[in-house]
Amino acid sequence: MQTVSLLMFNRNENEGIIRNIKLLKDAVDEIVIVDNSDPEKYEQLKKSLKLFNIKLFRTLSLGCQEPLFYYGISKVSSEYILHLDADEEPSKELIKKIKEKNFLYNFYTILSKDEKSEPLGYKSMVLFTKSSIKEITGILHMGIEFKEKPKKFPQEAYMIHHEKETRKSINKNYMEIESYVRPIKAYINYLKKKRGFIGDLFSFTYNLPKPINVYLTAFGIGCGRSIFNIFVLQCGPSYREYTHWIPYIIRYSMGQIKYSINVMKFFSSLPKKEQELRTEIAREIQECGGVIKYLGLNKDYIMENLTKTFKWDMSGLEAFRKLLLYRHFHKKPAYKFPY
């Protein structure tokens, strides 16, 4: 019989975590929570979870959840993993489908809707088996690589996405994290070296005066990301559904373009030496196979000792930066948090 674990990563969002536990406690076989909340919020969560049979694990905060993926997934014992964020709520039909445990494939992408039932697109990294995972990299927005393309879960079984009040601060953090793990300069250099039209186009736009090159290059990257996600990964609609999905495609594409422009502007604003440092760190991360291996977070004793020695006196972003710089300059992961 198929088994399912609910896996959630929490950062000061106890209400959403507890809501999903209550909704899914009778539908899943196991619930695993990886918490990197501030100490006060963590203690509140522990008290709230006393009534439930929960596996709760404590980690330090690193500015985003992707570097914690390997640790969290390693704590799951079920065949299937249902990975939900605290701002994602399963619909009644999704809960029903999870409870039935009649999955035909190893890797699904699930429709996400906003609170007004407007579609936001299909999201991967939600329902999958351990055996479907190729590699857990921990890279922002791309934390897991799979062996196969996802299959679409039935549209009536969707998730409800609740907009976070902290979205602006989260996006600011993402700019910093992107500049270390996937700096735009390294990405553009890669595109410039490609043969044919793509290489010629990015070579031309990058040599234009600023800020024209920033906007044109970011526009191209944003469009490329949109096309890749909608057509290649099939996270958007099928060909027959495009008329119905046009508003979603426009919103998604504009969001990708805006995000790429913000990343470009942020990286271009950094001093040249800082750009070179972050580009070099990104190169090392890619050669190592992702930020998890780079920082040694695929080893429980390192993750647990970093958490044990972390004093909770800085933001997750600052902690992430310190670990990256330690790894770069010492040529090895930090065993305890480097103060």
Q: Phi and psi at residue 329, in whole multiples of 5°? A: -80, -30
Radius of gyration of the chain, Cα coordinates, nearest whole angstrom: 20
Q: For the chain, which residues make up each domain, given as ranges?
A: 4-161, 167-339
Rounded to two decimals, what is the model's pTM? 0.86
Whether the CB-CB separation of 250 and 215 falls below 8 Å is answered with no
CB atoms within 10 A of CB 95: 18
- 285: Cα separation from own chain's centroid: 16
Instruction: Tell me which of 112 and 206 has the higher pLDDT.
Output: 112
Read off the pLDDT band of 232 (50, 70, 90).
low
Mean pLDDT throughout 22-48? 96
Cα 291 from Cα 94, distance rounded (Å): 32
> Helices marked H in the chain — which ranges?
14-24, 39-48, 69-74, 92-100, 167-181, 184-192, 197-206, 212-227, 242-269, 272-288, 291-295, 300-309, 316-330
Read off the pLDDT band of 229 (50, 70, 90).
low
CATH 1.10.730.10 is held by the domain 4-161: no
- Reported as a single tens digit per residue, the pLDDT across 101-158 is 999 999 999 999 888 888 777 888 999 999 999 999 998 877 899 998 889 899 899 9
- Reported as a single tens digit per residue, the pLDDT across 170-189 is 567 788 888 888 766 666 66
